[in-house]
Structure 1
Amino acid sequence: MNYYKPAAALLAAALAAPLGALAAPVVGLDPTGTGTYTTYADLWTNITDTAVVTGFVPGAIVGPGGIAPYVTELHTQTVIGTMSNSNLGAIVTPPGLNTSFELTKVVRFEELVTSQNATTATFGLAPSQSAAMDVDPTRAGVQNFAVFFDQITPGGPSQAVPGNGVDTVRCYGTGVTGGAANGCGGGAGDPDGDGIMILSGHLVFNVASFTASGAVGTGSFDTRFVIDYVDPAYLDIVTGSVFIDKFTGTTNVPSFFTPTSMWDGATPTTVPFLKVDSSQSFAVPEPGTVAIIGLGLAGLALSKRRKLNAPC
């Protein structure tokens, strides 16, 4: 007997719950890195967001008579532009954002193409995420999402501008773009703009669609992450309180940005670029959702125990 499915269904129900039914906390930010939070917001809106898709087959037929559902890869780079606090009903963007410092988000994960025809494709959550997608290998499990704080050197360029040339995102993560060999030396307060990781998490929910019309395409997405790591010197998020970090938005092709290099050092060639207009919100589960999550986790633990104790 398979004990996994009921538990997994409980977890899926909790994670897929509409965020309208969830409480909306505010997240504190301290640009000085001293834990003195000066801005509290529950919505971050992007000013730039470039995405690259690999492994996608335009016009492929998925399902009976066509190719089987298949996995694609998506990775993006984003600069936070504004912050707002719904409790105050006001924009609370901190002074100095994108002039003296910047916040950059990077996302990399696998999507399952669940259906597709000549013009439209829908995407869901792949059964598992490859370790190759890990943007923060120092944490447990695959971390598909991270936020970096950049102290922009006075008179120096931003390191997070999606575009061509010296300002292309290049100094994030632990891959080929990190380290002094690539001009990303680091240091106290991040004086050279190479980025300090202040948050990371893993993907738990993804629903997206995309429709092409000639050389132009449009789409929408809902992507959610559980936060696993927070640097309290920069962000005020009580452990376990912020359960979901959600991206929502729309995509279009062609993109306004064509970077020569992505944040992880990848050099895009024939893969499509997407312009992604999105925002990021934070949520915690209501008590009823917490109970469902608890049951789901208990069920998963029980199923694993039973599987281990099952006779060979």
Structure 2
Amino acid sequence: MSQTISDTRPHYHFKPWNVGRWIIWGGFALVLLAAPLLWTSSLAQTMLSQMGIAIIVCLAYNMLLGQGGMLSFGHAVYSGLGAYLAIHALNKIGAGWWLPVSMVKFIGYSTRHVRYIAFILSGFFAGIGGGLSAINTEIVNAEVVGAARSGAYLLFVFLGGATFFFGPIIGAVLMVFALVLLSEWTQAWQLYLGLTFVLMVMYAPGGFAGLIMMNLRVASFGKLGKLWTAYLALGGAGMVVLMGASAMIEMVFHLQLNAALGAEVPFMGATLNALGKDAWVGSVFVVLTGVGLFEVARRQFNLQWGETQEEIEKEIKRRETL
């Protein structure tokens, strides 16, 4: 009888702590604490602040896109409202007013309620990010609630990897670099972002986080070393294509926006004549050469990647039989 009772009792299996995950996120927390001490310039401090704010908003947006499967093209409204509330609150506090603070809790179990709560929490944290942005910049205008800002959240969350928690963090860092640095380097920065988005959709729909996780799986089986040459070949061919395409893009934008300044275009330490045939022929030749090299490298990479995956599957089956 006692044996029967003991067999019917539920068995609880407690998983050990994921030490690797604690190390990674603990290291990330240390980086956040050390970064302001290492980079002390005003530009670096501003970029770090914007990265932190962007991470909050992108993670909030990913609660809808990555976790809830809900696509939003107007999420900047919530961050913008948070910014407006924060700036008005600062004005009121400066005038000697006291502001009350309240909190509301929402609880639900059905899929509809869970998504509803996720939407509320996503908007709430987006508003927190918008409020912090207003405190950081002390400027709020109509752009913070515009479609371009919502599109930027969608674009960079996707580029970072919407299906992984750390994907929006990567996307937020990329967004700050693009908006602050890339926009200073070239007037065609939005075109470069669009091309990057198209390439990611075609070749890496999981975003940068997806690429990282795919290669971590390969590395966990000790197979990553076999792919380094293929990665170098892909990267080198891609850089050749990028160099030629960038030269043509910069010449086109120069002729459209700065034609009055002359035909000379500074590009990577050289000077291109936007009205001369040599620059265009050379750029086209570089692009075509890079495309050919990239196609050869891509086929070789696909072959090696397939062989590596087969070896991993065989290793998994071997371990299961032990």
Asked whether the two chains share a fold, i.e. TM above 0.5, the reply is: no
Report which of the two has the higher share of strand.
Answer: 1
TM-score after normalising by structure 2: 0.22
Bigger Rg, structure 1 or 2: 2
TM-score after normalising by structure 1: 0.23
* Greater relative contact order (Cα < 8 A, sep 6+): 1
